[in-house]
Structure 1
Amino acid sequence: MVVSKMPQTTMQLWQAWKDERDVEAKKQLIEQYLPLVDYVTNRMAIGLPKTVSKDDLSSNGVMGLIDAIEKFDYCRGNQFETYASWRIRGAIIDGLRQGDWVPRSVREKAKKVEEAYQVLEQKYMRSVTDSEISSYLNISEKDFTTMLQEIAVTTICSLEDPIREEESETRLSLLVDEKAKNPDYKVHEFYLKESLVQGIKKLTEKERIVISLFYYEELSLSEIADVMSLSPSRISQLHSKAILRLRGALAKHKDQLLQH
């Protein structure tokens, strides 16, 4: 008589994998959390060029999930889904970087707009208008809108870039995960948070709503468009401008972040 094994709980699977190195338990954990890869992939795929394969994003995401399962310490009582999401995002971003998916000309345009926001908002100490940015760049507002559409893809992962190349901690994680503390980061973490707070204060009301809904409520850009009764392209523009403003606010601390 063959006695079938009773289904294991998630905690039992973690114990079997971490304490006994049970490979079958690891496989079951991967299968259990695969929907998390789909969720993160679908969110990050929004706004990326059609040339970027969603299957490639998913493949990188799965590698991130496996890495998360390898490194997660279930004994600490932390939420695995949160930890794994960062690892999955990080793996997808690494894959995008290696694929060099953004043309240099688009990166240069993004840099120019970012610098324009940095210079003008430091000068006026307020949120600058599209007209002021256009004037600074010596282009029409229509051309500026077109430029925003072109560089939108460069802003999707901006706040999820790691502070250090070899680390998984990101600028956004410093805002949303208060438990992610590292003594080595204390000094520049303080200045980074202050810079982000000041940068967020300079966003327009609509830009703040988009950032909040996208990064904190985890809505997609299309869902945000429905909530705000705006077109997806308009939401994409608001997201791009918000990220470029924030990147401008962070620019003066960039060297400090890389030195420590």
Structure 2
Amino acid sequence: MATKLSPEEIQEIWVTYKKDQTNQRLRNRLIERYLPLVRFNAERVWAKLPEGVDMNDLMSAGVFGLMDAIDAFDMSRGVKFETYCVPRIRGAMLDELRSMDWVPRLVRSKASKLEAARKAVEAKHGRPPTDKEIAAKLELPMEEFDKMKSDASAINLVSLNKKWYETDSYKDVREVDVLEDGKGEDPTTGIQKRDIMKLVTKGLNRNERLIMILYYYEELTMKEIGTTLGLSESRVSQMHSSIVNRLKEQLRQRRPEFA
């Protein structure tokens, strides 16, 4: 077990290390001294995450954050190192989570709004709210609410290495071994969709192409598209109507090609 250092000894190590930051021995002693901060913050972050995230990954990222903090710490500022390093440790952990996270920002935003509305209604009534009550809180018709709820459900993460069940053999069966690809798409269908998209977006400018792709392929609302492109909802709707009318005319003229 490492000997516990007094505040004076820690201060002396800091002063000596800052005179020569190539001294790996002193750097390692500082890492050992503040490693409990990494574990403490990793546990706090990990407790709020869905199942499947390995705390060791957070610990590893946190150690790199701690090392960066040790190297960058300026003793002359009069700030306690514990105060200085915690944001860097947590930032390194969050960066690691972002690098692993496949959930689009828009999906995460929808999930946050949904959860905030659910908590507000639950606090008001003192019981779990119904979907209709949450939709009313969000001022959404049930059709839009159901779509928002469906989109937000994509935020859940599942570890495919999690054991499905144990066997007598040396190798356990994992989730990935039994997971059925229910959304597998026929390659021919994918090619046809791409061909149609090229045909539809040909001759459109950047904003017009994005409106068609985001509306018909990504299934965003006019309001969400407007936010993405920096346009008003009414302007997006107006542009969409104009594009559709132009495409109808183009397809009418090219009808003989598809006969």
Q: TM-score normalized by structure 2?
A: 0.43
Greater C-alpha radius of gyration: 2
Q: TM-score normalized by structure 1?
A: 0.43
RCO greater where, 1 or 2, for CA within 8 Å and sep 6 or more?
A: 1
